[in-house]
Amino acid sequence: MNTNLLQTPIDYLKGVGPNRAEVLRKELGIHTYQDLLNLFPNRYIDKTKYYKINEIQRNTAEIQVIGKITHLKTVAQKRGKRLVADFVDDTGKIELVWFRGHKWLKESLKINEPYVIFGKVNWFNNSCSMPHPDMELLKEHEAGLRMAMQPIYPSTENLSKKGISNKVISKIIQQLFSESKQGFMETLPQSILQELKLVSKSEALLNIHFPQAPKKLALAQYRLKFEELFYIQLQLLIKNLIHKQKIKGFPFTEVGTYFNDFYQNHLPFELTNAQKRVVKEIRRDLGSSAQMNRLLQGDVGSGKTIVALMTCLLALDNNFQACLMAPTEILAIQHYQGLSELCEKLPIKISLLTGSSKTKERREIHESLEDGSLHLLIGTHALLEDKVKFKNLGLAIIDEQHRFGVAQRSKLWHKNTLPPHVLVMTATPIPRTLAMSLYGDLDISVIDELPPGRKAIKTVHRYDSNRLKVFRFIREEIEKGRQIYVVYPLIQESEKMDYKDLMDGYESIARDFPAPTYQISIVHGQMKPADKEYEMNRFVKGETQIMVATTVIEVGVNVPNASVMIIESAERFGLSQLHQLRGRVGRGAEQSYCILMTGHKLSQDSKTRLETMVRTNDGFEIAEVDLKLRGPGDIMGTQQSGVLNLRIADIVKDNEILKTARYYAKKMLTEDPSLKIPDHEVVKNTYRLMGKHKNIWNYIS
């Protein structure tokens, strides 16, 4: 079919007109014929059965009956009037009732003509009635595009107000099908259609809007979900390919003294198999002439830092400098201390640059960066300042990348003639399905085992009524020389309430743990950054035993001596947040504990979250449960929620289809990167159209 027809503005479709078009644009984002075609139903009602009036049961939901109107009358009621019709078939009679639109109905309803009616039934005493039924003359019903399953389309209050009912939408879609003669262009190659036994595009569209039978509907849904996910994966993979072909990087051909000396003589522990695998993947990337663009995922404490350091040593072996950028000063300082310790015996110069670096320090850093004597620079956003110039930056490592915008990342690129290799690290486990769709253009490495000697954190759920026992346990841990976190929720809308909860909590802890025997730090969002830093540092140095805080104790704060994490009102936290907070403890050799405190009233979702936390420490399993509970938009936060504005597929439920789609997209691009094979012509054309008419596939960010 002529694809231009599908780009026709919706105003021109018979039965729409400018007023309806305006509402459709505003409420459902329907601008063109194509958008209307892609307005897929939310659910379906089975319309295969026609009831006889004497078969209607009290528990029957929506029913369909063939019969005639024998009598119409208007009945006065407290407010206004109602119109009542007697509707009969050869087994009995029911009443049809309307509370509005009387004048028009009286003129248009035909007495003694066969109708098909459809609607919900109300019972009163022993007789039943149907308010505001869907009605169609039997002869029109038999002539129309009949379907076994009636589609129910997305709707809004405004659409109903403007009279654009489900029936109207169904009618205008019918009109679109008759104008287009149902000749819709195929968008998938024959090889895939045959291999996966998929129905054609035209058949799929017909059966998604006008399903002839449940089996045909299922085939149509599978075909359209596959297509949607296939093109998203194709786009991400093409982006990755273009990146590798166009964006050249520095080939790191040497594995030299820095790397080998560290690996053979100074590695503090044997690498896990997962770490070895990831180092191999990174070495393979760095050895090619394309720029590396890799995401390194690993749960809290899985040993990402050592992998990052070994990557830096490869850069030094090839006469390049490296930098590591962290989102907060505390994290940058921790990376600096950790890496300086690991490199103690190596001839390497490492510096730290943050917002609080003194002018003299800055000057020295700038000079040694430009003359090449500084090998590794660690810091915050301060690394992005124009004054910071490298002699030859070959590698940029970014920690917790979702906190940095694209513009900030590209600033690092421009500090060189060629862009540096990029390694992005995150401790937020992203479910495989979501990672494939959000970071499909990055290569992904996963460290999925913990270093030996790490004890699993014991997690328990306790109700507020057990608080005294919990306090007794805290006392015992402090006597052993350990430190404790107590975290309160923070919900932006009710800062006053949260602040009050935090202060109440602080006061009750101060009563039970009095000074001078016990010292308590407090940290919350309304403090000045310098005060926060001061309190955090007291805790890090071990000057205070208890840290009472809102969730500002961010990812990565490393206090090996802290062994207990108490999370107050744990039901108010999301799963991934609970898991991140739990990761603040368990950093030393001692047994650590996480105690989830809640009241007795809990929703089903809250129970699932708490049970999951108690059951498992595996971040990826937790992320999968979180994805099922919250859906993809929430997990990625607002800045990325637009990425997966899917029309028909569901990234959680259609996990298997997603994997199949990615497999076929990958296979196609491996065999035929520029889509030259005649069978792939259709993919090339569809892909080109997607770029041209952004509105067709506007879910691809």
Q: In this structure, how many other beta carbons lie within 10 angstroms of the beta carbon of residue 679?
A: 13
Q: What is the pLDDT of residue 12?
A: 92
Residue 39 to residue 159: CA distance in whole angstroms: 14
Query: In this structure, what are the phi and psi dihedrals at residue 315, rounded to the nearest 5 degrees?
Result: -65, -45
Across 547-571, average pLDDT? 81
At residue 644, the pLDDT reads 57
CA distance 389 to 276: 33
Higher-pLDDT residue of 154, 429 = 154
Confidence of residue 700 (pLDDT cuts 50, 70, 90): very low
Q: Kindly tell me if the per-residue pLDDT of 282 is higher than 90.
A: yes
In this prediction, residues 215-233 reach a mean pLDDT of: 94
Instruction: Please indicate whether the domains covering 257-287+302-426 and 458-616 agree at the CATH topology level.
Output: yes
What average pLDDT does this structure show over 553-577? 83
User: pLDDT-based confidence at 301, cuts 50/70/90?
Assistant: confident
How confident is the model at residue 444, as a pLDDT? 86
Residue 49, Ramachandran bin (φ over 0: left; ψ between -120 and 50: alpha; else beta): beta
pLDDT of residue 697: 37
Instruction: Supply the DSSP symbol for 96.
Output: E
Domain spans of the chain? 48-146, 257-287+302-426, 458-616
> Is residue 493 pLDDT above 70, yes or no?
no
The domain made up of 48-146 has a fold known as OB fold (Dihydrolipoamide Acetyltransferase, E2P) (2.40.50)
84 is written with which tokens? 């009542």
In this prediction, residue 85 carries a pLDDT of 94
pLDDT-derived band at 641, boundaries 50, 70, 90: very low
Which CATH number applies to 257-287+302-426: 2.60.40.3950, 3.40.50.300, 3.90.1010.10, 3.30.920.30? 3.40.50.300
- pLDDT tens, position by position, 517-555: 999 999 887 788 788 888 888 998 999 999 998 876 654
At 243 the three-state DSSP class reads helix
pLDDT at 432 over 90: no
Select the more confidently predicted residue: 310 or 454. Answer: 310
Q: How confident is the model at residue 694 (pLDDT cuts 50, 70, 90)?
A: low
635: pLDDT strictly greater than 50:
no
Least confident of 149-163, 370-384, 466-480, 670-684: 149-163
The 3-state secondary structure of 319-385 reads CCEEEEECCCHHHHHHHHHHHHHHCCCCCCCEEEECCCCCHHHHHHHHHHHHCCCCCEEEECHHHHC
Class of domain 458-616: alpha beta
Q: Which residues pair with 690 in a beta bridge?
A: none
Residue type for 322, please?
A: A
User: Region 287-294: what's the mean pLDDT?
Assistant: 88
More confident: 226 or 240: 226
Output the average pLDDT for the chain: 86
Q: What confidence score (pLDDT) does residue 636 get?
A: 45
